[in-house]
Chain A
């Protein structure tokens, strides 16, 4: 299944969050902001300089830097979630 990160999400595209590749402590804050595995994330605006970008997730808008967005792994919407062995 195709995996990519939030950094590569095109404008107005959507993805489904698979995992957060950050230390537990930091990942927790992103989950509190709505970035929970399984939630749909879409790319909204961006700073005039291109970075950070604003993402829409779980009803709110959150700005993240490119380097952080690269730690959030997505799959295409509609594709199946992680298969249990």
Chain B
């Protein structure tokens, strides 16, 4: 296809000159949701945009560089999915604005790659008309060639190209088949003016008639319906079996994340301890050695050991998202969401909040109603994010004895963890209900959700997800947690007395801790936990590192038995209070920042922070009083 617009035409005056960065052209990747735009973008740029099998994964523009044949670079922009040029939600608005050149800071695209799903061509070609009528050189990419073929579908590409007056290629972004033609097209397209003159069709019905004609002319044969999807849905959405499977999966996830992770964590722990010992043996006894062992190894090391557990959790989330179960989960949850005045679309961001609240808050952009969107933003940080996992694991392992429940299916520890997740979800739902029946009252847009076919998650995509997560986690350990550990170590060693570090309770950090102790004492916490609460304002898992450093310094030669030290400082009431405090408190500055950005003001983040802190304090107080020592 693309040869027609090949490099022979680059002689025109607007031809791009290789190696001239001021003339980098931009190419927008557009199309309806879930057609593989981000998959293709990743393939062409080598970047790692999030890809998953449900509509509305990308909610923000993302610019990357792609190298074309002849050493030409272009800026490729990945965009949220759109059905037409009339946006209904924030994410669709971003795509429309970039495409029409209305986005400040981004020049209108010089060319467009329009991605459509070849397995449903009749419907998808209809989406081409409004985009083609923009008059920007456009390559129509029919994606999912692999599925089309395996389902026995076919079409005549040349006829489609002739009929719509634009080059067309059939590719599989996932396998890479046919993607070379896209690069070649771009070289040519950027050099020639828009080739076509289409009447502006914005009427959905006329677009669909137009696409039906083309489909007929091109003898389009749709692939066989996805039988496996139907069979799976018959089971997974079954009133009894579906819910049982759902429950069993949840239990299995918790049991795995808790007990299966333990040997892996022990291994990591052993590595951290051994390397600490080496460092100790290598260096002479000095303040610097103490900083390294107690500060760095004690602080960063205590957090790093949670990496395997976090990765296991992300593996599950990855399978959930890539398989297409996410959309089904939203369907199952819609009834519950309806009771509190929200809809199933709010559930997808809430599910991603199990990983982290920040992307979840961005994902609310797909919610059409402004009020529903704010309500979802307000409750997202109550969902149990992965940063709470180290805190929960540490406290549970220290205080909850392991016994089998549910006939050995689930242990007490995993059950406690499950309870904390349920607690967060319950708080989120009740808060949503309170908001939706007061300040945010009002009906949302009618609920509609496209249900994608199930797809087998690719191992490569899962591996990349884990790699990305591991990098993020370790980067945080190497920055925030490392810095806090070093600063803490110094504050805990000063002021010097006769050239010696003071007892930790009389150091700067001890003084600060004891000043705030009266505030947290009713919750059953002592000053060390108090310092942890302060440092965890940066990010929740920092408390683990902080306690690692403080206890390491206290125990003098830096013994790293964090659990034992914790048991010495907290009674059961205090431990439960700590768990509950972490379930509810909004200790995460990145979340505050993203809420401020997405709600365009301080009002909501401030209200949210105050509400969650109050909720955390009162509930922790009650827990401590009721359970006692």
Contact check, A28 vs B233: say whether CB atoms are below 8 A apart.
Answer: no
CB-based contact A63/B205 at 8 Å: no
A51 at the interface (CB under 8 A from B): yes
Q: Which residues of B contact A48 (CB under 8 A)?
A: 237-240, 242-243, 332
- Stretch of B57-65, B81-89, B254-262, B403-411 that contacts chain A: B81-89
Specify which chain B residues have a CB less than 8 angstroms from the CB of A60 in the assembled complex: 120, 123, 450-451
Question: Restricting to B272-322, which residues have a CB under 8 Å from any CB of A?
Answer: none
B447 beta carbon closer than 8 Å to chain A: yes
**Extra contacts besides A47-B331, A65-B446 (12): CB < 8 Å:** A26-B446, A28-B86, A28-B204, A29-B448, A48-B239, A48-B332, A52-B331, A54-B331, A59-B122, A63-B327, A63-B447, A68-B448
B residues less than 8 Å from A51 (CB atoms): 334-335
Q: How many A-B residue pairs have CB under 8 A?
A: 101
Q: How large is the interface on B (under 10, 10 to 19, 20 to 34, 35 or more residues)?
A: 35 or more
User: Which of B86, B205, B327 is A36 in contact with, Cβ under 8 Å?
Assistant: B205
A-B contact pairs, 28 of them (CB 8 A): A22-B446, A26-B446, A29-B83, A29-B88, A31-B204, A32-B127, A33-B83, A33-B448, A36-B204, A36-B208, A45-B234, A47-B237, A48-B242, A51-B334, A54-B237, A58-B120, A58-B122, A58-B123, A58-B208, A60-B120, A60-B450, A62-B448, A62-B450, A64-B447, A64-B448, A65-B334, A65-B338, A68-B448
Interface residues of B in 219-268 (CB under 8 A from A): 222, 230, 233-234, 237-240, 242-243
Interface of A is mostly: mixed
Cβ A68 vs Cβ B447 within 8 A: yes
> Which of B204, B238, B447 has the most chain A CB atoms inside 10 A of its CB?
B204
Which residues 461-514 in B have Cβ within 8 Å of A in the complex?
none
Complex Cα gap A65–B444 (Å): 13
Closest B residue by C-beta to A61:
B451
B123 touches which of A29, A59, A63, A68 (Cβ 8 Å): A59
A48 and B240 CA atoms in complex are apart in Å by: 7
A7 at the interface (CB under 8 A from B): no
Give Cα A47–Cα B327 distance, bound, in whole angstroms: 11
| Chain A residues whose C-beta falls within 8 Å of the C-beta of B238 in the assembled complex | 48
The reply on B400 being an interface residue by CB < 8 A is no
**Chain B: CB-nearest residue to A35:** B448
At the interface, yes or no: A46 with Cβ under 8 Å from chain B? Answer: yes
The residues of A that contact B123 with a CB separation of less than 8 Å are: 34, 58-60
**How distant is the Cα of A53 from the Cα of B327 in the complex, in angstroms?**
13
CB distance from B250 to the nearest CB of A (A): 14
Flag if B448 contacts A30 (CB, 8 Å): yes
Contacting A63 at CB < 8 Å: which of B120, B127, B331? B331
Say which residue of B237, B334, B338 sits within 8 Å of A45 (CB atoms): B237
Q: With A and B bound together, what is the CA distance between A37 and B206 in angstroms?
A: 12
Interface bin, chain A:
20 to 34
User: How close is A40's CB to chain B, nearest CB, in angstroms?
Assistant: 12
A60 to B34 CA separation, bound complex (whole angstroms): 12
- Give the CA-CA distance A60 to B234 in the complex, in Å: 17
Q: Are A63 and B449 in contact, with the CB atoms below 8 A?
A: yes
A33 and B450 form a contact (CB under 8 A): yes
B607 sits at the interface (CB 8 A)? no
Question: Which residues from chain A contact B343 at a C-beta distance below 8 Å?
Answer: 65
Q: Measured between C-beta atoms, what is the minimum distance from B436 to chain A in Å? A: 16
Within 8 A of B (CB), among A13-46: 22, 25-26, 28-34, 36-37, 44-46
Given contacts A29-B448, A58-B123, contact A37 B242 (CB under 8 A): no
Contact of B334 among A22, A32, A52, A62 (CB under 8 A): A52
| Residues in B neighbouring A59, C-beta threshold 8 A | 119-120, 122-123, 222
Q: Mark B320-341, 1 if CB is under 8 A from A, else 0.
A: 0000000100011011001000
Bound state CA distance, A67 and B338, in angstroms?
Answer: 11
- Tell me if B217 counts as interface (CB < 8 A to partner A): no
A64 shortest CB reach to chain B, Å: 6
A54 vs B531: C-alpha distance when bound (angstroms)? 52
Which residues A47-85 have CB closer than 8 A to chain B? 47-52, 54, 58-65, 67-68, 71
Flag if A45 contacts B120 (CB, 8 Å).
no
